Amino acid sequence: MAILPIIEIPDARLRKISEPVETFDAELQQLIDDMFETMYDAPGIGLAAIQVGVARRVLVIDLQEEGEGVKNPRVFINPEFSEPSEEKNVYTEGCLSIPDQFADVERPATIRAKWLDRDGKPHDEVLDGLLATCLQHEVDHLEGIVFTDHLSRMKRDMVLKKLEKLRRQQRAA
């Protein structure tokens, strides 16, 4: 396994629409393993393949609670969702491709999701809570969307200015 470099905005690859996975081979399994290692190292709770420069419809999620030490890795290949609830949830979202920046994002509270797992087995479930939010966030990446696209122009500009200030401070250090 390897820790892969995470691409960050404004890298144009983050705006690319990812291609469906058609072959479940050793290369795909290696990508999944590397994505988990990268996500845990970051640390984060979700990672889409495009965030490591691979434009394939693969994402990994692990909502393990801090300090619990129990991992619950989940793989979503070619995920799609439908039937978004009218009820909304607001979560403070962050993103490994927009480091150290957070903002409240409103999304449907529940969704019906369909995906394939790492072995190609199909799943169809109604998801809610943080898992539903995280899946929507990561599927956005597969469509070339980042969480700041859901913010007002003023809030998005504030987040991006804070990120640029942080980068300048890091370069000066």
Catalytic site positions: 138
Can you tell me the distance from the alpha carbon of 90 to that of 150, in angstroms, rounded to the nearest whole number?
Answer: 12
Task: For residue 154, report the phi and psi dihedrals to the nearest 5 degrees.
Answer: -65, -45
Name 163's Cβ contacts closer than 8 Å, sequence gap at least 6. 9, 98, 99, 100, 101
Give kind and range of the element (H or E) at residue 108.
Answer: strand 98-108
